[in-house]
Amino acid sequence: MRRSQHRMDALGEMLTVSGVDARATVHDGLGEYMMDLAVGTPALPFSAIMDTGSNLVWAQCQPCVECLPHSALQYDPSNSSTYSASPCTDSYCKALPSTCTTACEYHYDYMDSSWTDGVLSTETFTFGSGDPIPNVTFGCGYNNSFNTPFYASGLVGLGPGSLSLVSQLGFDLKEPTSAIRSTPLVADSFYFLDLRGISVGATLLPIPSDTFANKILIDSGTTFTVLPPAALDLVKQELRSVVDLPPANDIPWFDPCFRLKSSEVPQLPDMTFHFSGADMVLPMRNYMLVDTEAGVMCLAMNPSSVPMSIFGNFQQQDMHILYDVAGKSLSFAPAQCDKL
């Protein structure tokens, strides 16, 4: 919850790329989606955060000065036959805050106050059992400070900027089937959707039409959805009216929370996010955190401190989500991800 709030404060599984089938395993990372990939020749496997809210691809490099505490990657670019530092004249170098003498030395900040310093470079990356993809521009990070409590060795930026993996490699996308719902996608510095309203069960909440300014950022790197207080207060009010449980007021960061009766978890109505042209229906597990051992359940959303909304990855669970950047649309369909 703290990381979700920090990203808001600072803001004021399959890729088919260029005819190459690049499939990367994605798994849970304690509030993040983690992608398994490999870097260099010979290829060294590692796990990185998958982030649609940023653009730079980077991996921790050795010898690192400030190192990620749990990183398992021991990638020394001097031992890779396909590594090359990017020159000062490289167009990607000019897209980053950087200083340049003989190589492009970058500094890259994130919305939760994390950062990475290193040398912009090119290298061969491998995704799953696919063929190695050469000349991917990435950050060779020698100084890395990241708010991650898990074993990440870097980050894969999937945003709309020129440095992101999807922008570097390009997409060949299949047309959505009739079962998939689509909504307009605005790919500016981030990915934005047009949010029109929210319902709990059959109740459309009386959120003022200008609350979202027709814009919400969809981000795989923010855990919990962040909404303006005017909207979130109405969500909380409706939940309190449908949940027949005593409040739990001593839970930090989360509100509202409810005390469970023994280990019995009540079934709550779906919550629907009404996007332009498409409704995304969230079952209870996509908006409530349930801890049967502690005997509580809480709303997994956060109030925004600036006039901005973020649709977080907790709410995106069990969804196939397709970003068609060229076609300016986002398509989604429910999925049982643990059965795939």
- Copy the structure tokens of residue 268: 């709550």
60 near 71, Cβ under 8 Å?
Answer: yes
CA distance 217 to 221: 11
Catalytic residue among 9, 21, 51, 76: 51
Instruction: State yes or no: is 194 an active-site residue.
Output: no
Is 51 among the residues known to form the active site? yes
CA distance 25 to 180: 22
Four-CA torsion 55, 127, 140, 121, nearest 10 degrees: -80
Q: Which of 28, 219, 244, 291 is catalytic?
A: 219
- Residue 267's Cβ-count burial label (10 Å; 0-12, 13-18, 19+) is exposed
Residues with active-site annotation: 51, 219
